Each structure stands twice: as structure tokens, then as C-alpha cells.
């Protein structure tokens, strides 16, 4: 049973979120709070597995609440965000402060879809409770239990990793749930003179990808922008696909360029990682390094097969460092990953491979 604490200053939203969560018999809302101070008090009293947290609240806002929570009663947090630029910026900052994921407030458009996504994310985040508590106890210099937590191994015991040889001047990244912090961790560790271009397909609403790219650009040595159709591939630069659209690689004569399109319109995810991986493999072949990061589902696996067939190589994030071990697991189960690495080690691997 997943136990949830719902925090929102709107009575309507508290009741709606609680009702939608409890449509799953395996989820129980153990408490609600109308502001940050009440949330912190109830977080100490209730043994919740996940907190859903609004950004804008009276007395104590979501960001301040989150910072205090991670010092006093750390737990997985799902941000409930408004679909505005300020809401996007606050939500991305919240993920730097420790929130694991977010869901936009678009209940009025499609209540059933919102509820389904809400339940899926809450259930996934609940599995990280023990890891989050241990992590923040260490950060806060609080004594941790003598017995170590049982953690996933760095890689499957029977998995045979193969070397990735370079140089490779295109890096294509697929990522979803829990992605923004790990993308920032990786890109911010890369040098300005990286001899490769990076394309990022992050499952994210359209209102968020622009602020996400700006935030990355402000903390990274490489340049980061939201991609536009026809952008030239530039070394030392990363392009983030606009939410609700797709990113791929196409050839303009002998030169590759970025394609940002609405096709395929029937794709389950927009952007779809499958298209990015497939197009990079077909057009760039052995010049391509694929990176599959945390995310729910298996988007990207079919495209990764083509990338590998065309001579590309692939890094997959390991289970222990994923918020949701779905997309990397799919490529690992299909024996497509050349290397399986912790999030902390991926930037160094990228630098080594692209430089050859």
C-alpha cells in the first residue's frame, strides 16, 4: 500500500487529487495539508511514502517547504505545477531542491489522463523512499542505520559490457520521469570545448522545455537552447526538444541538421525517443553515441536497435541511480547497452568516447 500526503492550498485540488489517487486500491491518502507549515507538521506525524506538493501556497510556499522537508522528514516528493513559465521555473528549481518529479495541473483538460499519470508517478516514486531517506540523512549529517540498504547492483550480474570507441560527434539523449536533475548533472559536467553536439528528447510539457533549456544554459559550460527546425549541429552545444513536438536528425545535402516536427502525430510520447535514436543511427551511424536515462516505459528501445545496427553505441543509466528504471531497463534487457553506468559517471564516459 502506497501512503500519500497531499499538500495544496485549494480545497478543491486537495479533494480532487485525493479522489483520483484512491481510485487505485493500492494507494491510500493518509493526510492532507493546506500550506507548507501544516505539511511539515503532518510529515513528521504520518509515515507517508510520497508527498504531492503545490508550488504556490500561503504562509510557507512549496520551495521553502521542500527545503525544510528534506532536512527534517525526507521523502519522495511529486510537485503539482501550473502550466506557466513561472510555474515551470519554480518546478525545475524544486527538482534541484530534492523533488523527484512533477505533474502539470491540467485536470480541466482531461481529468482521467491526469489521474492516470498521477497514480503512475506516485507509485513509481514511492519505491525510492528508503533511498531518499538515506541520501538526505547523509547530506544532513544524521546518523544512518548500521545495516546498509539493499540496493540494486550497478549492473545485471550476467551482462557483458562492450567498449564504446570514438571519436563520435553526436550524442542523443532519451529521458523521462526524474530526468531534469540527471540531465543537469551530466550536461553541467561537460566542458565548453566538447567535440560533439547533443540532442535531448525529454518527456516534458511544452511550457517547460524553454525554461528547462534556459536553466541548463545558465549552469553549463556548453551552450544549451531549445531546438528549432533547421538548427545546425554545433560542437559544444546541446539542443532540447520543444515539448509536444519531436526532434530528429536529417541530412541537408552532405550536412546533418536538427529537425523539429509534429510527425509522427500518433506517437504515445512527444517527443518520442524512438525517432531521435532511429534518425541518428540512420543518418550518422558510427558517429553517434546514444544515452538512455531514467524514465517510465520503453520509449527509445526500438530506435536504439536501429542505432546499434548502424554502428552507434549506447550508454544506459543503471537501476540504482534511476528514479524510474523503465527506459534504461528496456535497452539493457534487449542487450543493446554497451555500458551501464551510474548517473555520476556518465559525463566522464561521454567525454572519453566522443574524444576517441
CA atoms of 319 and 340, how far apart (whole Å)? 9
Say whether 237 is catalytic: no
Dihedral through CA 26, CA 30, CA 36, CA 41, nearest 10? -140
Q: How many helices (H) and strands (E) does the chain have?
A: 12, 14
Question: Of 90, 299, 302, 321, which is the active-site residue?
Answer: 299
CA atoms of 15 and 17, how far apart (whole Å)? 6
H-assigned helices in the chain: 11-21, 36-45, 62-72, 85-96, 111-126, 129-139, 179-187, 206-219, 273-284, 301-309, 327-333, 343-355
Question: Of 203, 231, 246, 302, which is the active-site residue?
Answer: 203
CA atoms of 175 and 321, how far apart (whole Å)? 13
Question: Of 73, 81, 176, 298, which is the active-site residue?
Answer: 176
Say whether 203 is catalytic: yes
Say which DSSP state 169 is in.
Answer: -
Residues, the chain: 356
Phi, psi values for residue 200, rounded to 5°: -120, 120
Cell of 243: 515539448
Say whether 262 is catalytic: no
Residues identified as active-site: 176, 203, 299
Amino acid at each position: 500500500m502506497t501512503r500519500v500526503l497531499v499538500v495544496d492550498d485549494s480545497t478543491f485540488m486537495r479533494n480532487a487529487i485525493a479522489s483520483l489517487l484512491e481510485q487505485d486500491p493500492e494507494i491510500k491518502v493518509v493526510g492532507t495539508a493546506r500550506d507548507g507549515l501544516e505539511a511539515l507538521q503532518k510529515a513528521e506525524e504520518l509515515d507517508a511514502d510520497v508527498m504531492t506538493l503545490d508550488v504556490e501556497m500561503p504562509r510557507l510556499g512549496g520551495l521553502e517547504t521542500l527545503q525544510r522537508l528534506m532536512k527534517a522528514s525526507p521523502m519522495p516528493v511529486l510537485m503539482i505545477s501550473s502550466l506557466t513559465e513561472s510555474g515551470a521555473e519554480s518546478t525545475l528549481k524544486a527538482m534541484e531542491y530534492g523533488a523527484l518529479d512533477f505533474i502539470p495541473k491540467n485536470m480541466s483538460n482531461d481529468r482521467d489522463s491526469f489521474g492516470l499519470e498521477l497514480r503512475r508517478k506516485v507509485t513509481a516514486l514511492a519505491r525510492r523512499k528508503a533511498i531518499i531517506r538515506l541520501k538526505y540523512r547523509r547530506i544532513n549529517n544524521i546518523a544512518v542505520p548500521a545495516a546498509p540498504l539493499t540496493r540494486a547492483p550497478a549492473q545485471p550480474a550476467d551482462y557483458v559490457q562492450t567498449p564504446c570507441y570514438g571519436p563520435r560527434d553526436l550524442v542523443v539523449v532519451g529521458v523521462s520521469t526524474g530526468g531534469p536533475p540527471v540531465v543537469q548533472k551530466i550536461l553541467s559536467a561537460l566542458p565548453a570545448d566538447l567535440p560533439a553536439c547533443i540532442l535531448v528528447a525529454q518527456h516534458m510539457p511544452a511550457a517547460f522545455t524553454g525554461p528547462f533549456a534556459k536553466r541548463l544554459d545558465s549552469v553549463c559550460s556548453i551552450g544549451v537552447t531549445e531546438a528549432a527546425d533547421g538548427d545546425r549541429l554545433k560542437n559544444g552545444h546541446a539542443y532540447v526538444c520543444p515539448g509536444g513536438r519531436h526532434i530528429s536528425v536529417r541530412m541537408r545535402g552532405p550536412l546533418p541538421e536538427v529537425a523539429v516536427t509534429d510527425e509522427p502525430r500518433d506517437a504515445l510520447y512527444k517527443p518520442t525517443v524512438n525517432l531521435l535514436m532511429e534518425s541518428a543511427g540512420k543518418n550518422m551511424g558510427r558517429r553517434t553515441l546514444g544515452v538512455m536515462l531514467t524514465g517510465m516505459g520503453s520509449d527509445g528501445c526500438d530506435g536504439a536497435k536501429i542505432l546499434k545496427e548502424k554502428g552507434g553505441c549506447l550508454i544506459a543509466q543503471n537501476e540504482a541511480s534511476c528514479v524510474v528504471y523503465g527506459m534504461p531497463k528496456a535497452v539493457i534487457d534487449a542487450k543493446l547497452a554497451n555500458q551501464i553506468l551510474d548517473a555520476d559517471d556518465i559525463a566522464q564516459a561521454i567525454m572519453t568516447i566522443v574524444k576517441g
